[in-house]
Each structure stands twice: as C-alpha cells, then as structure tokens.
C-alpha cells in the first residue's frame, strides 16, 4: 500500500471545480445564469528527488516487513520443532516411569507379603511404599509435563483455542 501511494507521487494531479449562480435582477447586459468551470492539471517537473526518495523508502519498508514476516515464520517453525522434540522426550520419560511404577508396585507387594510371613520389617514395607508413592508422583508429573507441552504445541500452531472449546463442549455434554 505504501509503495502504491509513493508511486502516485509520480502522476500529475488534477483538479476540477465548478460554480453556478443565478441573479434575480436581470439586466440587458448580463445573463441571469452564470456558469463557471475550471480545470487544473499540475505536474512537478523537479522536486529535489523527493518522489524518488519516498518511493525508495516505501519499497524499503515493504522489504523490511517481508523479512520480518519470514523471520517470524522461521521462529514459529523452530518453536514447533522444539516442542515436538520435547513431547517425544517426555513420552519416553513417561514410558520409563510407567515401568518404574510397575516395578515399585511389584516390590511393594513382595515386601508386604514377606512382612506378613515375618521375613521383612515394617521399615522395609515403609521404604517400599515410599518408593511406590515417589514413582507414582513422578509419573503424574510426567503426565502433566506432556499435557503442558501439548498445549505449547497448540499455542505455537494456533490451535489452542479450538482445543479448549472442544474440551469445554465435551465437559458440558457430560453434565
């Protein structure tokens, strides 16, 4: 738009005015209807290269805007790639923590059974239970981190609002 405005400075300007008047007192020397039309066309032959400078500035602003858009596009692509890698890493951590919870639960069950038979102490049961709870907390934190990374991806791709609307609609449907 700015380039088109600057380009318009190279064109001549035109002006057209008109006037009409009617007099009540008619004389023999004068017509009661008076018409006047004036047309004017102007073109600056030389303006100290101002038009060229304005046009060049407008083109420069347009190029800067295009470069800014390209930079923003690259930044968004990079953010999306980083978030996808983060989600992959968090999914791998989540899988490992699931296995850790299964192992901690099996250990707790084994220690509890041994305690019932008198083969382990209450401290061993307490330690096994603490390890199980810690593993479950880590798993819950990993699940939260995955959801946060997914929301970050939705924010980067511009789909965050759509997901929230769908979630709210689904929640309303269950009520």
Instruction: Give the gyration radius of the chain's Cα atoms.
Output: 40
Tokens of 51: 């038009």
State the Cα–Cα distance between residues 139 and 102, nearest whole angstrom.
11
Global pTM value: 0.59
What is the tens place of the pLDDT at every residue in 44-63? 766 666 677 777 887 888 88
What is the tens place of the pLDDT at every residue in 29-41? 666 666 677 777 7
Of the chain, the end-to-end C-alpha distance in Å amounts to: 52
Tokens of 45: 């032959």
DSSP for 107-140 reads: HHHHHHHHHHTTSS-HHHHHHHHHHHHHHHHHHH
Mean pLDDT for all residues in the chain: 84
Neighbours of 86 (CB within 10 A): 17
């Amino acid at each position: 738009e700015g380039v088109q405005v600057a380009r318009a400075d190279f064109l001549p300007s035109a002006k057209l005015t008109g006037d009409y008047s009617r007099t009540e007192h008619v004389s023999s020397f004068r017509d009661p209807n008076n018409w006047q039309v004036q047309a004017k066309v102007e073109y600056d032959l030389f303006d100290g290269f101002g038009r060229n400078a304005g046009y060049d500035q407008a083109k420069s602003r347009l190029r800067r805007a295009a470069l800014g858009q390209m930079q923003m596009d690259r930044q968004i692509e990079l953010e999306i790639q980083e978030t996808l890698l983060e989600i992959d890493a968090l999914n791998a951590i989540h899988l490992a923590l699931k296995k850790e919870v299964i192992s901690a639960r099996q250990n707790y069950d084994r220690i509890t059974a041994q305690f019932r038979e008198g083969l382990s102490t209450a401290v061993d049961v307490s330690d096994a239970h603490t390890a199980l709870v810690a593993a479950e907390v880590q798993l819950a934190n990993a699940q939260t981190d995955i959801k946060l990374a997914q929301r970050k991806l939705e924010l980067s791709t511009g789909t965050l609002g759509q997901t929230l609307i769908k979630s709210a609609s689904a929640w309303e449907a269950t009520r």
